[in-house]
């Protein structure tokens, strides 16, 4: 009986901590959603259980602002960054994992060191490079910055996954006459779906949520992303439309939420496998 009581007490404490943690995490999300449905213009007047809810702010975003253009710009940047960065990460990780060449160890150490520095430390260098290449206020320039910045962490993670895969599969394919490109696409990729999905989704989310680099590179109204557009919409109007900002934030979260719901299993498998096989 004493053992059962101890187990019950332990479970009660664990579930209590989980419930409190969930409340702390979900309450801000609930408050933003309710705020976006508040008919007024300030979050201070938002109550936990409002009597009147309105979709006026959502309608305002698409009829009175360039929110739809910002959304499409962000979607384009995130999509192409996902494609380019995933390709660069997978190919570089495969080369570091399966080939032995001069400078390999130095390259791996460089990748490891680069992960320690936040991206905003290179803002001046990025600005000058893009200025010299005529890529300022250009989506292509921003995509290249995102894709290059994602390589260090992604390549190291995927390399750990590839290192854990048996070389006997490649040796058997080589005996059958398969080349490195065939082995990569027809053997390594089908066996690496979890880590590929994880890398693709994380590289989609990065540009979708980023503000600092987008603010640095993009200047014209036609090229703004969601983060830049929403920030300027609030700061440029005397801080009077926070409920409209909340509505925009809710819509920003929808694609990310859908991705996580659809790809939850391969995402968790990819993260676990990449961490354990290093």
Q: pLDDT tens for residues 29-61?
A: 888 888 888 877 666 656 667 777 888 888 888
Question: Does residue 81 fall inside a structural domain?
Answer: yes
Q: Are residues 73 and 179 in the same domain?
A: yes
Question: Does residue 7 fall inside a structural domain?
Answer: yes
Q: Are residues 103 and 169 in the same domain?
A: yes
Q: Are residues 133 and 228 in the same domain?
A: yes
Tell how far CA 257 is from the center of its chain: 12
Rounded mean pLDDT, 202-214: 89
Rounded mean pLDDT, 191-201: 87
Question: Does residue 53 fall inside a structural domain?
Answer: no
| Full residue range of the structural domain in which residue 198 is found | 64-276
Question: Does residue 267 fall inside a structural domain?
Answer: yes
For the domain that residue 195 is a member of, what is the CATH number? Answer: 1.10.3720.10
Of 237 and 126, the one with more pLDDT: 126
Q: Are residues 141 and 213 in the same domain?
A: yes
Q: Are residues 79 and 126 in the same domain?
A: yes
Q: Are residues 135 and 177 in the same domain?
A: yes
Q: How confident is the model at residue 273 (pLDDT cuts 50, 70, 90)?
A: low
Q: Are residues 6 and 113 in the same domain?
A: no
Q: Which residues of 44-82 are buried (b: 16+ CB within 10 A; e: fewer)?
A: eebeeeeeeeeeebbebbeeebbbebbbebbbebbebbb
What pLDDT does residue 203 have? 92
What pLDDT does residue 278 have? 43
Number of domains in the chain: 2
Q: Are residues 74 and 210 in the same domain?
A: yes
Q: Are residues 32 and 68 in the same domain?
A: no
What pLDDT does residue 146 have? 92
- Rg of the chain over all Cα atoms, to the nearest angstrom: 23
What pLDDT does residue 47 have? 64
Of 106 and 269, the one with more pLDDT: 106
Q: Are residues 95 and 179 in the same domain?
A: yes
The pLDDT tens digits of the residues spanning 69-88 come to 999 999 999 999 999 999 99
Per the prediction, the chain carries an average pLDDT of: 84
Question: Does residue 55 fall inside a structural domain?
Answer: no
Question: Does residue 259 fall inside a structural domain?
Answer: yes
Is residue 262 pLDDT above 90, yes or no?
Answer: no
Angle between helices 193-209 and 242-262 (to 10 degrees): 170
Q: Are residues 23 and 70 in the same domain?
A: no
């Amino acid at each position: 009986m004493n053992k059962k009581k101890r187990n019950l007490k332990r479970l009660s404490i664990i579930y209590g901590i989980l419930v409190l943690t969930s409340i702390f995490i979900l309450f801000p999300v609930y408050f933003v959603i309710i705020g976006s449905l508040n008919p007024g213009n300030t979050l201070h007047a938002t109550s936990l259980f409002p009597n009147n809810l309105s979709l006026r702010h959502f309608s305002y975003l698409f009829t009175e602002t360039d929110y739809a253009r910002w959304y499409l710009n962000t979607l384009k940047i995130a999509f192409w960054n996902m494609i380019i960065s995933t390709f660069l990460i997978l190919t570089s990780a495969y080369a570091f994992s399966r080939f032995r060449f001069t400078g390999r160890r130095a390259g791996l150490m460089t990748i490891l060191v680069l992960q320690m520095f936040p991206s905003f430390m290179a803002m001046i260098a990025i600005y000058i490079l893009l200025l010299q290449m005529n890529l300022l206020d250009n989506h292509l320039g921003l995509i290249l910055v995102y894709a290059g910045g994602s390589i260090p962490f992604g390549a190291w993670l995927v390399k750990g996954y590839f290192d854990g895969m048996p070389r006997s599969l490649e040796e058997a394919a080589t005996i059958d006459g398969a080349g490195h490109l065939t082995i990569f696409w027809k053997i390594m990729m089908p066996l690496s779906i979890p880590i590929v999905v994880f890398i693709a989704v994380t590289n989609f989310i990065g540009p979708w949520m980023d503000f600092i680099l987008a603010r640095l590179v993009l200047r014209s109204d036609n090229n703004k992303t969601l983060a830049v557009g929403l920030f300027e919409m609030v700061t440029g109007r005397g801080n009077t439309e926070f409920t409209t900002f909340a509505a925009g934030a809710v819509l920003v979260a929808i694609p990310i939420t859908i991705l996580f719901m659809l790809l939850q299993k391969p995402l968790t498998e990819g993260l676990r496998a990449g961490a354990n096989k290093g």
